[in-house]
Structure 1
């Protein structure tokens, strides 16, 4: 059969990224406890470069590679191997992939120790250039509680508090032992309090009082998290976003920061 994709092209334009987007697949996500977690993943983008001499890439090979790696736990090493396979099978010099998925962390309530699952949004992203180390980015979005220091200071009764969403992304070019669970734990420690899916009365009392004793503006959470991320070894870059879903305003409070190590 005639292979149109392999025919030459005379327009002289090398394409920087070509491939597939928005492909849903079941994957395994590496777990800190050792047992991989089954996740439904959205492959937001999976692309390679295309030399100017070629008319098109081989789209089916992208899905073939994804199916091959769907049964291997996602981590730095698996993403590196996947992109090396893409370079080889697609005769490319560079490759990129972004995978979004929902991950569940088991948490025990602070007093009753009742266990429940907290869902967090995760992104694994990899950039691979031939004969160069993988640039791997892990990103998580973790819900937490924030309590307003100003409200606590001026109010005779209580202080307004709210759920917040903290997003952190870290980039590294060699395995360093950082896991989804560890990154989420770092974030939770810098909030006024953690959130839980299941709380009994004694737990609700504990987290309410814990937040009251640890008031933080959105700026406080962000700055404390930046200081914690600076302590991580083997990190090339990180970014942080914090958004408080204000309970007494009709708008959110927001702060962000990024820096290279």
Structure 2
């Protein structure tokens, strides 16, 4: 391995000294957005971040052949990506058993929560029954975390190498959304931050059961950034179209 300390040091000096420029946006940027370069540019806006994780993936890896686990991952990814697309979001990252969807615009929080409720519907009505039928395993689960707020998108990696570059997201909301997804599991499969909750419309706040109006959310707290933040969990889901 040959790493040139002088070359690396010069590049780091240049990166740390360059003037950074932010451009305000109101849509989710594409990885190929020409406004983003590997220099000092970033796209800033208000976004809602949705992280969905497949639970017990390590246990699945031990229990099944890797080809079977690969099929489970592909089935999970397909359903989650289709849900994000149907909710007018944009998928911006895959990390094994995790998918990141991002939403922008005035309805971003409602769209993300509606997507999450349908994701749990995908789990309950499609993934779990089919996985149980094929593998006789009922341990499949997902957890979803959603957070809303300002964030900065920038390119990271090596500019000339398509295999070593990607968008990264800077700010509290993506970090908080990730933390919330860690908490979520059956039966409370969805956790959202207070900002997301405050932006929700009636249809994503309440449901009706036996003619009675029911709040779908339960107030909780999460340790985050050396403090406690208010969050909300839900055990509800939306049925899929038949």
Which category describes the TM-score, using the shorter chain as reference length? under 0.3
- Name the one with the larger strand percent: 1
- Name the one with the larger helix percent: 2
Relative to the length of structure 2, the TM-score reads 0.28
Relative to the length of structure 1, the TM-score reads 0.26
Higher relative contact order (Cα pairs below 8 Å, separated by 6+ residues): 2
The higher radius of gyration belongs to 1
